[in-house]
Chains A and B, each alone.
Chain A
């Protein structure tokens, strides 16, 4: 399973990388939405993208819209991981096509539970 982590903060990318690597994911990184699209265009289609909202060049919402508009990338699971927490923002992101939404600050088990809910983790019986 491949996870694409998109955040302009290297520290946040490392934090997320640590958690998802521990869950068995292979990790790709990008510092903004455009870089993320470039990574995908270079041939690396992830299973899930963890997406910050506020980033330079192309923000997370724009990235979500771009992913959903393209038939080749429509099926990628999209989870916002952001400090934007107003209900209007969450509604906007879900309406743009994001599948899940994790508000910063979050705990590790919150991220794990969201990935589990999305069916991205092996089932523990």
Chain B
């Protein structure tokens, strides 16, 4: 073959290949997670559905959905039922471990005003770290027994840490790491997957039916749903953490609850917190 023809063919092949690549990357977009677009769409869905609710009010859950409930909440907030847990949390947080160290030694900025950064993706470990997990790790690293994830001390500690971040916008980061994206997607998948005897997904209630009632309870919107945790629930007559809420929500929809801080729950927390970025931390909170 003549050199010129070869070169022309080669060049044409190269050009075709380049075009094919460009075309491929344009088409491949749907398969690649896009958290930024997700978060935008998530917020738009709720603000469109509830045009009268201010963005920052979504963190008040069912109270942002119903006037009668809002009044009851306002009354409780005058002197909230989580006061005692919050005070206990502050005291616990400042008390040194047996080895002399404190929680402040485990966290950036001494643990004050950082709650809005949790959960985060730990690139060294390759997994999502939640605030509750970090607290127990801190305890164990300092020779103390871990606390139950669902209530009591864990609720008090996270209540205090949330309180020091009150008003700060949720600020979850997804590093440019495929494992972080995978955790995010895992959480998203959990959120939208139906499960259990009632065949509900988290979205069935909190995306499809916020403001409506399930039996007698008014449903909270998923947007900002974690921002008020930990919460004092009248139903529990006590405090509960994010872990507690995930576990009991699974039980109540008659799905098998997972262990607190299991992979799916941590990833779920990661996803839900991320799509609520920008909304203020309001914890600790009170709920029906």
A, B in one complex:
no
Name A residues whose Cβ lies closer than 8 Å to a Cβ of B.
none
Name B residues whose Cβ lies closer than 8 Å to a Cβ of A.
none
